[in-house]
Structure 1
Amino acid sequence: MSSPVEILLKSLLVIDRLSVTPVYIQIARKMTSAIQRGVLVPGVKLPGTRMLAEMLEVHRKTIVAAYNEIDAQGWIETLPNRGTFVTKKALVIPSEPLKNGLDYISSHPQRAGFLFRESMLLDRSVSVSRTELEFTDGLPDVRLAPLDKLSKAYASVLKRKNNSRLLGYSHVEGNEFYREELKSYLNNTRGLHIKKENVMTTRGIQMGIYLASMLLLERGDHVVVGDLSYYVANMIFQQAGANILSVPVDEHGISVESVKKLCETKKIRLLYLTPHHHYPTTVTLSAERRVALLNLSVQYGFVILEDDYDYDFHYHSSPVLPLASADASGMVVYVGSFCKAMAPGLRAGYIVAPENFIVELAKLRRIIDRQGDLMMEQALGEMLREGEIQRHLKKAQKVYHERRDLLCSLLKDKFENELIHSLPPGGLAVWTEWRKDINLMKVSRECLKKDLHLPQTLLFQTGKLSAVRLGFGNLDEVEMKRALDILEQAVKK
């Protein structure tokens, strides 16, 4: 007669013959899980290898290998002339009574058995589309990215023997060569006057905002943003415990007078700006207001966090230089990236700030990301030195200029009675203000039925405002016409 343990093991150790996981590993994992859950209690004697092999219809060597694996992990012990036992030191994880032992140990718990903080602040996130067409908030067309040049540069970096050092730990501020090239690029294109010691690389702009907020903000600090503002940055500030104060934004950017009035009544710690093209309305902060805000930051002691997310794309005249280019007092922390210039999946961001701030920021970065991808940074640095990224931006700017004009032309033709919009001077999105009687959420749902994704994060509908931020960078001419046709049908319905 079979023992209770043998009967139990026969029901627990069901082998998937089609799995790529070796059979002995399957057996070892399931037995280990049974021991951890207390199904096989400490001290119980296990069947011999020959008997268990016959029971499971496998070779005896498979069971020997499985027992060796479990023994190496310390879950069982073999006593001479006595047999193999579950060690009495085995950790038993308390659990609910098993309804079906096999189902229970083959699936992970859906909910945690412990308490933790849950946040509503982070619920609104960027949605991932599975539709054929999608409006974004201003993402580039990854099909235009110079992937052939990047792959050749990356392969070349990997092949060089002296680059093996890049696979180990190095400077947490980022690849030194890349920072040197990035420094030159930023100085030439943005009017900065920095050294590589003023630069730290990140995994994109959001990481830069997060790290700066972690270092700068304490719970209860006041952060000033535009009304409206970038929702991800707002979530980061709220998660840090800051109080968000909003000020109006007009056709010349954020209101300096409103910022000044707040400074007169409250201690402002940080002002968050997207000055080149304000998010989401795309207006450019005037040069006069930039000077005024820099003076206010010195007078009242608040930090300016300058998010220059799409500086590389401007279509009419030379762009207004960043506030960081005129910061003589060390009050500006400047964040940017190549994610919009190249592709969102290429997480290549950077922070520019006074050197002592970068040193402290690097200590904080070490906790969550030791140094980034030094190999990729080396490849990007070489592309900068050879002018490949600059040439790509020049070509892409022409394409995006044409797409912007096409979108604005189609909006005028199809939605003359439904919305108003202005021609943005740069960037990859158009701000559209709609009639208030149009339910934008219903429009979004109707678009989805036609395989067009209009994300909720692009909709701004309140009692005072009804607007949509429409990105055009990711859509070619044919796709854009189809998308606008679907949008028109959804609005009419």
Structure 2
Amino acid sequence: MSSPGQIPFNSFISLDRQEETSIYIQLAQQIIQAIQRGFIPIGTKLPGSRQLAKVLSIHRNTVVAALQELEAQGWVEIKANIGSYVLKNTTKAKKNTGYAKNLNQNQYALQTGYDFEKSTILENPFESTTCTLRLDDGMPDSRLSPLQELSKFYTANLKRKKNSKYLGYSDQNRPTTFREQLCNFLNQSRGLHIQPKNLLITRSVELSTYIIAQTLLQPDDMVVVGQPSYFAANMIFQQAGAKIKSIPVDDDGIDTEALEQLCKKQQIRLLYLTPHHHYPTTVTLSSERRAIILELASTYGFAIIEDDYDYDFHYDDAPIMPMAAIDYGGMIIHTGSFGKSLAPGFRTGFIVAPENLVIELQKLLNLLDNQGDFIMEQVLSDLIAEGEIHRYLKKSVKLYKERRNYMSYLLARELNEYVDFDIPTGGLALWTTWRKEINLIQLRRQCEKSNLFLPKNILYQAKDIAAIRIGFGNLNASEMEESVAILAESLAMIT
């Protein structure tokens, strides 16, 4: 036990009479900080009120008030005619003579006092900007979201008495209304034949992918992706310890001949696909190749994640049904998001898989997100039941088609000498290829000077490719015009 006379109170107690906080509260707070940091060890008998008042040059009554506050908060015990003793010590401070003297009690620790391994995989790929204009990789325009309708549904569900009993923690007996409604929606819109037992609700497509990766993958398992592929999924697989193998993507989607050759040489655990519109190139996986992939999966025993990230956005002909609609062998795990056309807070992810896998995935989801968002699920359920989501999707798809056409027109008119692209049949982005001598990082910097931000995750430049995935969904007509004008001006300055 430290002697009161050995504790250098003046080194960590600094009282400011100019502050609005009372001196006795300042003193109590700073003694608590000293206890937490180990400057005053547990069991220490504090100096008497007269002695401490003299050391700190304050009135004895101020010290008495501070000790009473410490006792009320449970930090010290005051024994009549004996003294005040520290009751608990929440953290252990470093035990070196210079530590207390050099520490500023008003500053939180600059770094940990212990070592840990820093991730080289999970660097944040999403950048922020102060620019007014921003190109993204194909996000919807949240400004178009029917907030009044959503607010009406949300308020109604909050007011329903029957819902209040399901807002507690870890309530496993909640109604399955949303899963039932979402099953019906997916069966009708995607040609699936699922029941609620085949469906798992998550917060996002990325969380769905994470849960699947953690459940199915072991260190050094091989995951096959297209080249190029979705960066976030690649990061998730690498974090799970998998080895990623890329195979080419052409106008018909992922190269099935290359996939078959790889299967003959190495064991594949998982194939990750975005077949409706390949990310980032927007091409659709052909029907012939879909059949070949399913046959290869059955023959060589690898699972397939079919990421259905933008299925709701198709403009021309009827969309090709997901591979999961023709998977009778249980090889495909179908993931997607519901409500992507709505404001971000009104979206949810889902996983469609055979029941035995859903049960296993649910175990991990219970650990990560046992509470979920019951009220939001009820809102989305109402949107389906009352037909609002169908009406909104029909309206928004028409608008996004107009935006796709207008962005294509502007790029062809203003940047024809620099860029080439095909107009996609769906989705919210254009895959544009540029003259190889154009330095896209230089272009990004020049555009940023003119208030247009191009995040790094939409730029694809290597020895044999210079491409940009240009999202058009989040831009109205005037914003498109200004963005393309800045691109044209910036290109003229760097070429």
Normalization by structure 1: what TM-score? Answer: 0.91
Residues 1:45 and 2:49 aligned together? no
Bigger shift: 482-491 or 97-106?
97-106
Residue in structure 1 matched with residue 160 of structure 2 by the alignment: 160
Is the contact between residue 428 and residue 473 of structure 2 (CA under 8 Å) also seen in structure 1? yes
- The 1:243–1:90 alpha-carbon spacing in structure 2 relative to 1, beyond 3 Å, is closer
- The 1:105–1:470 alpha-carbon spacing in structure 2 relative to 1, beyond 3 Å, is same
- The 1:61–1:212 alpha-carbon spacing in structure 2 relative to 1, beyond 3 Å, is same
SS of residue paired to 2:165: helix
Residue in structure 2 matched with residue 340 of structure 1 by the alignment: 340
Residue in structure 2 matched with residue 416 of structure 1 by the alignment: 416
- The 1:68–1:415 alpha-carbon spacing in structure 2 relative to 1, beyond 3 Å, is same
Code of the residue aligned with 2:46 in structure 1: it is K
- The 1:62–1:399 alpha-carbon spacing in structure 2 relative to 1, beyond 3 Å, is farther
SS of residue paired to 1:107: coil
Residue in structure 2 matched with residue 486 of structure 1 by the alignment: 486
Return the match for 2:14 from 12, 15, 33.
Answer: 12
SS of residue paired to 2:247: strand
Residue in structure 2 matched with residue 33 of structure 1 by the alignment: 33
Question: Matched residues in 1 for 2:158 and 2:103: separation?
Answer: 45
- The 1:487–1:7 alpha-carbon spacing in structure 2 relative to 1, beyond 3 Å, is same
Q: CA RMSD in A?
A: 2.9
Code of the residue aligned with 2:13 in structure 1: it is S
Bigger shift: 51-60 or 400-409?
51-60
For structure 1, which runs of at least 5 residues remain unmatched after alignment? Answer: none
Code of the residue aligned with 1:12 in structure 2: it is S
How far apart are residue 87 of structure 1 and its match? 3.9
- The 1:487–1:9 alpha-carbon spacing in structure 2 relative to 1, beyond 3 Å, is same
Residue in structure 2 matched with residue 68 of structure 1 by the alignment: 71
Matches within 5 A, 1:102-121: 104-121=104-121
Is the contact between residue 12 and residue 105 of structure 2 (CA under 8 Å) also seen in structure 1? no
How far apart are residue 346 of structure 1 and its match? 3.6
How far apart are residue 253 of structure 1 and its match? 0.7
How far apart are residue 298 of structure 1 and its match? 1.0
Is the contact between residue 306 and residue 335 of structure 1 (CA under 8 Å) also seen in structure 2? yes
SS of residue paired to 2:84: strand
Is the contact between residue 182 and residue 381 of structure 2 (CA under 8 Å) also seen in structure 1? yes
For structure 2, which runs of at least 5 residues remain unmatched after alignment? Answer: none
Code of the residue aligned with 2:263 in structure 1: it is C
How far apart are residue 60 of structure 1 and its match? 8.4
Residue in structure 1 matched with residue 444 of structure 2 by the alignment: 444
How far apart are residue 387 of structure 1 and its match? 1.4
How far apart are residue 31 of structure 1 and its match? 2.0
How far apart are residue 89 of structure 1 and its match? 6.5
State the identity %.
42
Is the contact between residue 174 and residue 371 of structure 1 (CA under 8 Å) also seen in structure 2? no
Matches within 5 A, 1:287-298: 287-298=287-298
Is the contact between residue 173 and residue 371 of structure 1 (CA under 8 Å) also seen in structure 2? no
Residues 1:431 and 2:431 aligned together? yes
How far apart are residue 99 of structure 1 and its match? 7.0
Is the contact between residue 204 and residue 339 of structure 1 (CA under 8 Å) also seen in structure 2? no
SS of residue paired to 1:467: strand
Code of the residue aligned with 1:67 in structure 2: it is L
Is the contact between residue 272 and residue 305 of structure 1 (CA under 8 Å) also seen in structure 2? yes
Residue in structure 2 matched with residue 472 of structure 1 by the alignment: 472
SS of residue paired to 1:105: coil
Is the contact between residue 340 and residue 347 of structure 2 (CA under 8 Å) also seen in structure 1? no
- The 1:30–1:212 alpha-carbon spacing in structure 2 relative to 1, beyond 3 Å, is same
- The 1:131–1:10 alpha-carbon spacing in structure 2 relative to 1, beyond 3 Å, is same
Question: Matched residues in 2 for 1:139 and 1:174: separation?
Answer: 32
Code of the residue aligned with 1:164 in structure 2: it is S
Is the contact between residue 140 and residue 428 of structure 2 (CA under 8 Å) also seen in structure 1? yes
Is the contact between residue 270 and residue 305 of structure 1 (CA under 8 Å) also seen in structure 2? yes
Residues 1:221 and 2:190 aligned together? no
- The 1:167–1:352 alpha-carbon spacing in structure 2 relative to 1, beyond 3 Å, is same
- The 1:295–1:80 alpha-carbon spacing in structure 2 relative to 1, beyond 3 Å, is same
SS of residue paired to 2:200: strand
Aligned residue pairs total: 487
